[in-house]
Amino acid sequence: MRERTVRIAALLLCALLAWPLAAGAVEPDEVLDDPALEARARSLSAELRCLVCQNQSIDDSNADLARDLRIIVRERLKAGDSDGEVMDFVVSRYGEFVLLKPRFNWRNALLWGTPVVLLLIGGGAILMRARRAATPTARLSAEEEKALQDILQKRS
Amino acid sequence: MVEAGHFALVLAFVLALVQASLPLIGARIGDARLMAAGNSAALAGFLMTAIAFAVLTAAYVQSDFSLLNVFENSHSQKPLLYKFTGTWGNHEGSMLLWVLILTGFGALVALFGRNLPATLRANVLAVQGMIGAAFFLFILLTSNPFARLDPAPIEGQDLNPILQDVGLAIHPPLLYLGYVGFSICFSFAIAALIEGRIDAAWARWVRPWTLMAWIFLTGGIAMGSFWAYYELGWGGFWFWDPVENASFMPWLAGTALLHSAIVMEKRSALKIWTILLSILTFSLSLLGTFLVRSGVLTSVHAFATDPTRGVFILTILTVFVGGALALFAWRAQALAPGGLFQPISREGALVLNNLFLSTATATVFVGTLYPLLLEALTGDKISVGAPFFEATFGPLMVPLLIAVPFGPLLAWKRGDLWAAAQRLVFAFAGALLVTLVVALFIDRASVFAALGLGLGVWLVLGALTDLAMKAGLGKVGFAAARRRLAGLPRAAFGTALAHLGLGLTTLGVISVMSLETEHIITMKPGETTDVAGYELRFDGLQPHQGANYTEDRGVFALMADDGRTITQIVSSKRLYTARQMPTTEAGIATRGLSQLYVSLGDPTDDGGVVVRIWWKPFVTLIWIGSIVMMAGGTLSLSDRRLRVGAPSPRKTAVTPVPAE
């Protein structure tokens, strides 16, 4: 239930904006004739957020705004833009909020850095622990050695 | 009657307060009667919560619209099953289910904890009582399901149509059993910190609870994924939605806990880490509750406009997580460190497992919360969606999955990596073969598909190798190996099955991600289209009247390439009349392990209809694998060693000293 609630809110929102709610998003009339170009359009669409939905890409959303964006992406591709140029164009119009994968920059350093830093710290800690475990324990002092001998002799 | 339910809920809150205080004091001053009071309070508290829950359910079944909660979420025409499940298909009801399960687990500890040390049991129950008291207060103050409406309306506003599905009967209870089940591990960890003592008996007690919560959570997540798959109409099975992540984080941490608890029980190493993981796992469950229940996910602003619930849960979260971590920082050093081991050993492999699972948990955590944090601090809005998680979580899983088959083949304390690798040569050969076959013979396959499917096969064969080696296949004769296999402890089968299930799920996920095909076309009645070697004929739209909805059913015939009809597929668009809300019901045909998924779009002007057709190769493996994982967990849980719960009395080893 909790799993669904937010998505339902999103769906309700989308339903209000794009009546009636249909499954899937890309309409047959949007599909490009060139399959290679269409494939690029689809993979780019999957990385762009439907701005009026919650956590849905424009590839999944049937909101009007998502449709407009899909058409823009396809028009840019037909005009010969590279993938990067298309993304830059969309970002220049709608801001970075539209990217489902935030860019590498200082503002997002914590986001991208966490996995790497944690892996390094954790791995380092484990290595140090292993090294400590590997070092032979300190030799017995003369007194301890004598005590040990005493015990051994008593037992035998 | 409704007032009786309300009264029972208040009583349950009072009992939780009793349970939170008396046993704690009892354990402190060594008073057996005070400690025993915790048991009675736990049992009575569960009874009272059950009464409150039953009363709410009855109100739903009878469509008692004098209750605000029933009016807002039910309808007299709703099918009976959804009147039952509708009880928890809303905020107030689901919180009541939450505390029902919490007190249920508390009652289980009271019932089955007889062989626990008295003070440990008292402390565990006290911590459970504290959690319960906090959430009862939350329900009573901000989310009371027993609020009345006067005058009572004639008709209710109906349950959200998307929730009118058997999925609602199974998914939330399983998910909550998992979430809340981890509260027991949390309580045990806190009790251990209060006592300043922790031993193998503790780990042996905590492991079954972890395992049980983990099995339920696995089922809950898998069921949620399957529900989304068939209900939402575009055939996705995982969206990296914050709400999904909220349940995935405790699962990842719980999986890590499951493995570190093994090390603690067998080798009494990793004690402090296991305690920390127990705390973190339940903290993530609480965080999930906060994220979903506060409205903070919709927008930081939605949270700001009606903050009562959010702030309340955030306070609970801060007090429990902060308190637990403070206690941990203060007391953890008092726990004696455990056994030493070499990096290449079973322990080492489990540490590696924990490293990657914890990092993965943190990655999901940051990805889910970073946009909220950034917006709250700087006002900048960014989106973190599936592409981010695929780029970070994915690579983290690869080394982990590669390492999985090695773990069970390594010996405790000091293992031999080379020997383990030699035993895995068949698994490696199989994986290599599959990779090559996929790369060479499937046209659309990418490098990702080939390597990914190879990885899945590696996991499956690795799990089977584990069993074969434990049976001694190759060393002893076939008949003897079979006897040894039958004689293996159930936990050994459990491990192998769980790893096998992981492999199957991996195969399903990779296969759908990389080999799925999609057709988006307009079809008129009588037209056919080719999909994955089948032919699909559209036979037209038929109007249909359901219990509380109307629908247009698109009827399709699935035919083999020789023109023989294999099956009929019905895919429909529904309109739920009470809320005037449309939904799609996908048409799904299962062929072997794969599925053909048909979803209906809008009608076109020329009398056709937009149809989306997906071929999803091996998609069912995603959920079959989850069920196999659950089966593995259940088998482990039924192992006598764990069922008994307490350690067998240590045999005092008297080694005779030879006289000289």
Q: How many CB atoms are located within 10 Å of the residue A1 CB?
A: 24
Q: Which residue of B has its CA nearest to A135?
A: B342
Chain B residues touching A95 at Cβ < 8 A: 381
Chain A residues touching B616 at Cβ < 8 A: none
**In this predicted complex, what is the ipTM?**
0.82
Is the CB of residue A20 less than 8 Å away from at least one CB of chain B?
A: yes
Identify any residues that bridge with B553 across adjacent strands, giving them in sequence order. B542, B572
| pLDDT (average), residues B149-158 | 87
Q: Do A15 and B581 touch (CB under 8 A)?
A: yes
The pTM assigned to this predicted structure is: 0.89
| pLDDT (average), residues B614-625 | 95
Q: Do A100 and B522 touch (CB under 8 A)?
A: no
Q: Are B520 and A24 in contact (CB under 8 A)?
A: yes
Q: Which residue of A has its CA nearest to B519?
A: A28
Q: What pLDDT score was predicted for residue B660?
A: 40
Of A31, A56, A95, the CB nearest to B520: A31
The pLDDT of residue B159 is above 90:
no
Q: What pLDDT score was predicted for residue A4?
A: 46
Q: What are the CA-CA distances from residue B327 to residues B17, B276, B594 (Å)? A: 21, 11, 51
Of B292, B358, B573, the CB nearest to A2: B292
B425 CB burial (10 A radius; 0-12, 13-18, 19+): exposed
Of B292, B380, B383, the CB nearest to A107: B380
Q: Which amino acid is at B143?
A: S
What topology is assigned to A2-98 in CATH? Helicase, Ruva Protein; domain 3 (1.10.8)
Residues of chain A with CATH 1.10.8.640: 2-98
| pLDDT (average), residues B241-253 | 93
Chain A residues touching B522 at Cβ < 8 A: 28
CA dihedral B485, B486, B490, B495 (to 10 degrees): 30
List pLDDT tens digits, range B66-79.
999 999 989 988 88
Lowest mean pLDDT among B15-24, B285-294, B402-411: B285-294
Q: Do A102 and B600 touch (CB under 8 A)?
A: no
User: How far apart are the C-alpha atoms of B35 and B29, rounded to whole Å?
Assistant: 10
Q: Do A114 and B363 touch (CB under 8 A)?
A: yes
Q: Which residue of A has its CA nearest to B392?
A: A115
Q: Do A114 and B362 touch (CB under 8 A)?
A: yes
DSSP code string of B299-326: -HHHHHHS-HHHHHHHHHHIIIIIHHHH
Lowest mean pLDDT among A24-28, A131-135, B227-231, B558-562: A131-135
Per-window interface: A 106-125 vs B, CB < 8 A? 107-108, 110-112, 114-115, 118-119, 122-123
Q: What pLDDT score was predicted for residue B334?
A: 77
Chain B residues touching A17 at Cβ < 8 A: none
Is the CB of residue A6 less than 8 Å away from at least one CB of chain B?
A: yes
Q: Identify the helix (H) or strand (E) that includes residue B32.
A: helix B32-61
Q: Do B359 and A122 touch (CB under 8 A)?
A: yes
* A24 confidence band (pLDDT: 50, 70, 90): low
User: How far apart are the C-alpha atoms of B418 and B483, rounded to whole Å?
Assistant: 28
Q: Which of A28-32, B194-198, B395-399, B641-645 is predicted most confidently? A: B395-399
DSSP code string of B391-444: HHHHHHHHHHHHHTTTGGGSPSSS--HHHHHHHTHHHHHHHHHHHHHHHHH-TT
Chain A residues touching B520 at Cβ < 8 A: 24, 26-28, 31
User: How far apart are the C-alpha atoms of A150 and B457, rounded to whole Å?
Assistant: 60
Q: What pLDDT score was predicted for residue B306?
A: 67
List pLDDT tens digits, range B362-417.
999 999 999 888 888 888 888 999 999 999 999 999 999 999 999 999 988 888 88
List pLDDT tens digits, range A63-108.
888 888 999 999 999 999 999 999 999 999 998 899 999 998 888 9
**By C-alpha distance, which of B40, B130, B56 is closest to B91?**
B56
Q: What share of chain B is helix, strand, coil (3-state, %, to 5)?
A: 65, 10, 25
Which are the contacts of B16, defined by CB distance < 8 A and separation ≥ 6? Answer: B41, B45, B103, B129, B130, B132, B133, B136
Mean per-residue pLDDT over chain B, rounded: 89
Q: Do A23 and B233 touch (CB under 8 A)?
A: yes
List pLDDT tens digits, range B451-498.
999 999 999 999 999 998 888 877 777 888 888 888 888 888 999 999
Q: Are B109 and B19 in contact (CB under 8 A)?
A: no
Q: What pLDDT score was predicted for residue A13?
A: 39
List pLDDT tens digits, range B532-551.
889 999 999 999 998 888 99
**By C-alpha distance, which of B232, B242, B303 is closest to A100?**
B242
Q: Do B521 and A28 touch (CB under 8 A)?
A: yes
User: How far apart are the C-alpha atoms of B180 and A8, rounded to whole Å?
Assistant: 24
| pLDDT (average), residues B556-567 | 89
Q: How far is B482 from chain A (nearest CA, A)?
A: 38
Q: Identify the helix (H) or strand (E) that includes residue B569.
A: strand B565-576
Chain centroid to CA B220: 5
Domain ranges (residues) in chain B: 1-164, 424-516+621-631, 517-616
Q: Which residue of A has its CA nearest to B296?
A: A6
Only one residue has tokens 């354990």, namely B27
Q: Which residue of A has its CA nearest to B521?
A: A28
Per-window interface: A 70-109 vs B, CB < 8 A? 95-102, 107-108
The pLDDT of residue A51 is above 60:
yes
Rounded (10°) angle between helices B323-331 and B271-294: 170
User: How far apart are the C-alpha atoms of B277 and B207, rounded to whole Å?
Assistant: 13
